[in-house]
Structure 1
Amino acid sequence: MDAIWEYLPVLLPFIAIGFAAQLIDGALGMAYGVISTTLLLAIGLPPKAASAGTHAAETFTTAISGLSHIYHRNVDWRLFARLAVPGIIGGVAGAYLLSNVDSSAVKPYVQSYLIVIGLWLIWRSTHVIQRTGDPRIVAPLGLFGGFLDATGGGGWGPVVTSNLLLQGSNPRMTIGTVNTAEFLLTLSISITFLIHLGWETFTTATLGLLIGGVVAAPLGAMLAKHIPANRLLLLVGVILTLTSLYGVGKSLALIG
């Protein structure tokens, strides 16, 4: 018992990150991966370990979040089928690529990608997207979103959810469907990382993210109905952009 209490202070920061990230992700259909990965990169984890650890934890959180969205009837099963298969293909390809390249060379590019996502979220928070009908571009979006999610440790939600909303998809059903499809994506990516990298990539940070995310996951579907999305998007975008800028600056300083 004493050993558990001694270990708890090490876990608490990661539990808090996982809890906050999953609350936002469950409510908006985005941000768990990018927030978690950005902060793990900022504390010094290599891209492979950061992405692998985030996806391992996210496999459990997306399972619970998906069940919650199904319970609240937030899932469009036709859209789910169109997203899941290409998403898995893109995710496995991205995880394979990241597992077989030099992490020090990839790190600045991964964080630069996250900066772009952060700036996009800030922009998105100031614009109201009008509904125009059912989305037409789905499979290519799932493929691209899955690939970016694996290589960057996050991106499925920001890429897929946001683009579906731009096409006029129903916000509540889009968020629920993207969250539910994400379970299959993260499971496939985690298995790919496990095959290529082994268990050593799953660290204390992974356990903390998992605990915090699992606790928060059931709440996301309810929050989707009550919290203004634009306020959360702005906060996520600012934190993500600033943290990633710091990471890029640190990486460039080490290269120089």
Structure 2
Amino acid sequence: MTTLPADALAWVALAVGAALVGFAKAGISGTSSIAIVLFAAVMPPKASTGALLTVLILGDLFAIRYYSRHVEWRLLARLAPWVAIGTAAGAVVLYYADDAAMRPIIGAILLALLALQLLMKAQRRDSERPPLPPLLRHGAGAATGTAAGAATMLANAAGPVMVLYLFLSGFSKLQFLGTMAWFFLAVNLVKVPISVGLGLISWTTLIMTALLLPAVAVGALTGRAVVKKVDQRQFEVATLAMTGVGAALLMV
């Protein structure tokens, strides 16, 4: 990314996307998928992954500020090697893919993660579901870590993967929020030097991120305030619908 967007509508889309990132990180997960679509719609798709990465890190910092005491470190340690494998694989694909290829790739990833979200909603109907047994938990951890690493490197879209895994692991709400916050801060910081090496993050990217900081802050504060008050089922349906539409548009 060498120049800042000149179109006012592009900045509106970026600001809305940044606010949705903050809202997803500190409130109800899922709205960051819409931010992926917004960033990719107004920027070259490959450049959008670098720009969104820096915005996501801002959102991670807000989430850690609110929920850092509730992290499950043992789970993060178990996922770490698999995330590294997935991230490396995603970086290889990102290196060889051009902008024309990246748009349908991002769309396909979002559609796949949308399917995971729908599976999560179906599983949620059983409120008394026990935690995963140890053997299945370790296998699911390997699959989750690899998929999350690849999805986050290619499209900053690992959130739905982690949502599903943490939910099936029987985490409480605070454990979920705290673990998600630390997981994504660690993963996103690891991705920074890779993205710089691929030319996806530049000084212009950082300037844009600084300009979007107020939008991230507004989203995070709003997410924290309303997370216990909104009808989450209705909100999730709307989020899934918009994510599906956005993903389909990227693939056209």
- TM-score of the pair, normalised by structure 2: 0.78
Distance 1:91 1:172, change over 3 A: same
- Corresponding residue for residue 3 of structure 2: none
Q: Output the CA distance in 2 between the equivalents of 1:141 and 1:242.
A: 25
Q: Select 1:86's aligned residue among 59, 70, 82.
A: 82
Q: Output the CA distance in 2 between the equivalents of 1:179 and 1:241.
A: 25
Contact 2:26 2:66 in 1 (8 A): no
Q: Output the CA distance in 2 between the equivalents of 1:90 and 1:210.
A: 29
SS at 2:198's partner residue?
Answer: helix
> How does 1:1-256 map onto structure 2 within 5 Å?
11-32=11-32, 34-43=33-42, 45-70=43-68, 73-122=69-118, 124-125=120-121, 127-130=124-127, 131-133=129-131, 136=137, 137-154=140-157, 156-197=158-199, 198-199=201-202, 202=205, 206-207=209-210, 209-218=212-221, 220-221=223-224, 223-249=226-252
1:69 maps to a residue whose letter is Y
Q: Output the CA distance in 1 between the equivalents of 2:44 and 2:121.
A: 30
Q: Output the CA distance in 2 between the equivalents of 1:225 and 1:23.
A: 13
Q: Output the CA distance in 2 between the equivalents of 1:180 and 1:90.
A: 18
Q: Output the CA distance in 2 between the equivalents of 1:211 and 1:8.
A: 17
Contact 2:86 2:150 in 1 (8 A): yes
Q: Output the CA distance in 2 between the equivalents of 1:21 and 1:67.
A: 15
Distance 1:37 1:175, change over 3 A: same
Note the C-alpha offset of 1:102.
Answer: 2.2
Farther-moved stretch of structure 1 (187-196 vs 15-24): 15-24
* Root-mean-square deviation (Å): 3.1
Q: Output the CA distance in 2 between the equivalents of 1:139 and 1:223.
A: 33
Q: Output the CA distance in 2 between the equivalents of 1:219 and 1:196.
A: 34
1:163 maps to a residue whose letter is Y
SS at 1:28's partner residue?
Answer: coil
Farther-moved stretch of structure 1 (232-241 vs 131-140): 131-140
Q: How many residues align?
A: 239
Q: Output the CA distance in 2 between the equivalents of 1:237 and 1:82.
A: 29
Contact 1:91 1:188 in 2 (8 A): no
- TM-score of the pair, normalised by structure 1: 0.77
Q: Give the unaligned 5+ runs of structure 2.
A: 1-5
1:51 maps to a residue whose letter is T
Q: Output the CA distance in 1 between the equivalents of 2:10 and 2:245.
A: 24
Using the aligned pairs only, state the percent identity.
Answer: 21
